[in-house]
Amino acid sequence: MASSNRACQNDLIHKQLNAFEKLVNAAINSFSKERLVHLLRLLLKKTAHVGRQLNSLKSLRKHIEALGDSPDDDKIRSHMDSFFQDVRYSKQLKEYFDDRIYLPLKTYFPVPPNVPNMAGIQEDLRNGVALNLSKCAEQLKFINNQWQNLLEFDEIQASYLDPDTTYELKDLGDCSNFERLARLVPDCLIKAFKSHQISKTWWIQADKVVKERVALQNNVKNLEYQLIRDAEEITELRKGLDEVDEEEKLVEKLKHEFDELEKRCEVNDDSVLSYERSIICEDLDFHLRLLPDMIRHRGATEAKIFDLERQIDDNKYRKESALVQLEHIEQIEKESTRKPSALKKQSKIPVRKSVHN
């Protein structure tokens, strides 16, 4: 059930990322910064009596209100309406991203907590994926806050603008009188583009966490199986050591019996005693020939048991470490499934009503 739910969430995020990418690319391709810069210059020229700086949407509205009724003024006014539509569309893109991508990522693909630094834990999760996810989360949070602040107020704060948008205007002449205004929409589109790229990385890296959970579960099963096999092998090897001990005891017993018979034969020359002594002597000779090999085998067996015991200790530690890490991952997934669905209440897909021609 959990794996099915996870697969569904994975598929939804994938679709939303693809849809958002298309929306952003379409907006980037349809927006003309050259047209906007040209119109802002015309607007400032025609409304110079209002002021020579355009650094906020509020000041832009004042200059538009100061336009006359000539066909050229109407054309500028019409294009400025398209610009305000671009700004509204940027806000819609932001809402779409927050509702359909950012919130679901935080809900269903959360950044895992720090994993204890223990030997045997998979390095890619402890040092790789976890760090990548944390970095993605931090970058996305920063960009998202900048994006939100940029669109929240009429006054455009330079600190919220992406440095990359400076290069958007470098070939368009002097834009110092309206630079922040000219950078507003391109900046939002750059933030949307970067947010998509980071979100995609987040999603891919988070999926590795899920795959790591499966790998950890398999690893725990394999370790448990190996622990059972090693314990069984030690049991069998110790049985072999018991046989060597029994053989040594038997040799000592035969020696004692032979010595006793030897003494009795010296006192009493009895054929029966001599026969018994010869039988004991043959048995003793047979077991004495076996004993050296068995003793050498005991040394190898004891070394093998020692190695297996060390292997068992190591595998127990690896199993405990894997279980700790597995508990972290399963706790993340458990918490995410308890949260209300972030994909049910979503903003509408933004529709671009007008573009620059």
> Mind listing the pLDDT tens digit for each residue in 252-298?
887 887 777 777 777 777 777 777 778 877 777 777 777 777 677 77
Q: Where are the domains of the chain?
A: 2-212+333-338, 229-318
Considering only the C-alpha atoms of the chain, give the largest distance between any 2 of them, rounded to a whole number of Å. 150
Q: Is 31 left (phi over 0), alpha (psi -120 to 50) or beta?
A: beta
Give me the pLDDT at residue 130, please. Answer: 54
Give which of 134, 132, 135, 159 is closest to 145, Cα–Cα: 159
- The CA–CA distances, whole Å, from 200 to 226, 292, 308 equal 39, 69, 46
Give me the pLDDT at residue 21, please. Answer: 94
Integer Rg of the chain from CA: 41
Average pLDDT along the chain: 80
Give me the pLDDT at residue 126, please. Answer: 44
Q: What's phi and psi for 56, nearest 5 deg?
A: -155, 160
Give the whole-angstrom CA distance, residue 197 versus residue 136: 10
Give me the pLDDT at residue 172, please. Answer: 83
- Of the two residues 221 and 174, the one the predictor is more confident about is 221
57-61, 79-83, 88-92, 270-274, range with the lowest pLDDT: 270-274
pLDDT at 191 over 80: yes
304 close to 236: Cβ distance less than 8 angstroms: no
45 close to 58: Cβ distance less than 8 angstroms: no
Residues with Cβ within 8 Å of 100's Cβ and at least 6 positions away in sequence, in order, are: 16, 19, 20, 343, 346, 347
Give me the pLDDT at residue 335, please. Answer: 52
45-49, 55-59, 118-122, range with the lowest pLDDT: 118-122
pLDDT at 14 over 70: yes
294 close to 206: Cβ distance less than 8 angstroms: no
pLDDT at 146 over 90: yes
Half-sphere exposure of 323 (CA within 13 A, CB side): 11
Residues with Cβ within 8 Å of 330's Cβ and at least 6 positions away in sequence, in order, are: 213
pTM for the predicted model, two decimal places:
0.64
pLDDT (tens digit per residue) in 235-247: 888 887 777 777 7
Per cent of the chain over pLDDT 90 is 30
pLDDT at 344 over 60: no
At 116, which amino acid appears?
Answer: P
pLDDT at 208 over 90: no
287 close to 247: Cβ distance less than 8 angstroms: yes
Give the whole-angstrom CA distance, residue 46 versus residue 247: 114
Give which of 302, 284, 298, 303 is closest to 244, Cα–Cα: 298
Give me the pLDDT at residue 86, please. Answer: 93
Give which of 87, 82, 85, 77 is closest to 42, Cα–Cα: 77
pLDDT at 203 over 70: yes
Give the whole-angstrom CA distance, residue 282 versus residue 292: 17
* Token pair listed for 273: 């005693």
pLDDT (tens digit per residue) in 98-138: 999 999 888 877 775 544 433 333 344 444 455 577 788 88
213 close to 330: Cβ distance less than 8 angstroms: yes
| DSSP label of 163 | G
Give which of 226, 175, 218 is closest to 54, Cα–Cα: 175
Per cent of the chain over pLDDT 70 is 83
Confidence band of 217 (pLDDT split at 50, 70, 90):
confident
For helices 179-267 and 2-30, the axis angle rounded to 10 degrees is 150
